[in-house]
């Protein structure tokens, strides 16, 4: 039997690799663009809010694209064939944005204003502030679709957005670090203490919100006043 030329075999393997890699890189580029679009929209709202009220509704904003190995692991864990089409259809957290706010009121204000933009489509909303997870986790999650404009035309891509207060983010970071420790002793008692900490942090967030209201002399949500002071028309009832 005649053996294939080693160079030809290498070229075939390279072509197969390119057939897999290029579509994946294209997909990741699309989600990166969608992520940056959401981040830009939130920064614009932050700048306008600061101009109107002399304070910013969020302290920091972080963006992340899911690592390829994490994407593959999640697809296999869920039992889906690993294809680009399945990744786009089944995964909503390839692109992620995390917004860290000072006050709970600002979380809901920002989320409402973002969702009112006519090119944003809400896919899912989960309010873990009003309805915390059993372990005490609190955060406000949105999954949205946002348009990405490419040379071939407009496409819609999903982005997961997490809104947290500074205190909620501090707790979640510690919880994640502790829970993934190997050979963790006294796991149940630690989980109970973490739950107590989450409840205490929630009470502190509530007190800080009350103090803000007393300082600003206004118990009405900022969203209403933001609309009244903005050039944009108010949201429809």
- Other CB atoms closer than 10 Å to residue 205's CB: what's the count? 22
Burial of 77 per CB tally in 10 Å (0-12, 13-18, 19+): exposed
65 three-state secondary structure: strand
Crossing angle between the packed helical segments 6-53 and 222-229, to the nearest 10 degrees: 90
- Note if 105 is an active site residue: no
Buried b (16+ CB within 10 A) or exposed e, 216-234: eeeeeebbeebeeeeeeee
Counted residue by residue, the chain has a size of: 237
Catalytic residue among 90, 130, 160, 227: 160
State the Cα–Cα distance between residues 31 and 27, nearest whole angstrom: 6
Burial of 191 per CB tally in 10 Å (0-12, 13-18, 19+): middle
219 three-state secondary structure: coil
Q: Answer for the pair 141, 78: CB distance below 8 angstroms, yes or no.
A: no
Query: Catalytic amino acids?
Result: 160
């Amino acid at each position: 039997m005649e053996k294939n030329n080693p160079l030809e075999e290498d070229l075939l393997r390279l072509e197969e690799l390119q057939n897999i890699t290029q579509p994946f890189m294209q997909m990741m580029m699309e989600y990166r663009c969608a992520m940056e679009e959401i981040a830009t929209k939130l920064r614009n709202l932050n700048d306008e809010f600061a101009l109107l009220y002399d304070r910013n509704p969020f302290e920091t904003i972080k963006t992340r694209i899911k690592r390829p190995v994490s994407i593959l692991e999640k697809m296999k864990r869920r039992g889906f064939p690993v294809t680009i089409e399945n990744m786009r259809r089944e995964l909503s957290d390839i692109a992620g944005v995390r917004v860290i706010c000072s006050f709970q009121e600002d979380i809901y204000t920002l989320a409402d204003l973002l969702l009112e933009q006519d090119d944003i489509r809400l896919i899912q909303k989960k309010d873990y502030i009003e309805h915390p997870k059993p372990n005490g986790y609190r955060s406000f999650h949105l999954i949205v679709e946002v348009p990405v404009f490419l040379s071939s035309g407009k496409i819609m891509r999903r982005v997961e957005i997490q809104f947290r207060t500074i205190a909620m983010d501090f707790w979640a970071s510690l919880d994640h670090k502790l829970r993934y420790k190997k050979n963790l002793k006294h796991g149940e008692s630690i989980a109970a203490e973490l739950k107590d900490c989450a409840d205490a942090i929630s009470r502190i967030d509530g007190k800080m919100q009350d103090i803000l209201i007393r300082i600003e002399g206004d118990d009405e949500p900022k969203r209403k006043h933001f609309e009244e002071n903005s050039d944009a028309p108010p949201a429809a009832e």
